[in-house]
Amino acid sequence: MLEESWLLEQIKKYAASPEGRKQIKEKTGIDYDPKSDKSISQSNMQKYAEKMRTILWRRINKEVKSVSKDDILIEPPTTNDKGEVIITLSFRPGSMFRPSLQPDEYPEGVQNILLHFTHGWSARRRIRGEWRGEKVWSRKFHCGSSFMQQAVDEFNSSVKGVATAELSDEYKK
% of the chain with per-residue pLDDT over 90: 47
Residues 33 and 94 in one domain: no
Residues 65 and 13 in one domain: no
% of the chain with per-residue pLDDT over 70: 95
Number of domain units in the chain? 2
Q: Give strand pairing partners of 134.
A: 131
Start-end of H helices in 17-146: 18-28, 42-63, 113-119
Question: Is 73 a residue whose pLDDT tops 90?
Answer: yes
CA 137 from chain center: how many Å? 32
Residues 104 and 139 in one domain: yes
pLDDT in tens, 78-103: 877 877 788 899 999 999 999 988 88
pLDDT in tens, 43-67: 778 888 999 999 999 999 999 999 9
Domain that holds residue 32: 1-37
CA-to-CA distance for 91 and 9, rounded, in angstroms? 34
Residues 23 and 62 in one domain: no
Q: Are 136 and 130 within 8 A, CB to CB? A: yes
Residues 51 and 110 in one domain: yes
Residues 24 and 83 in one domain: no
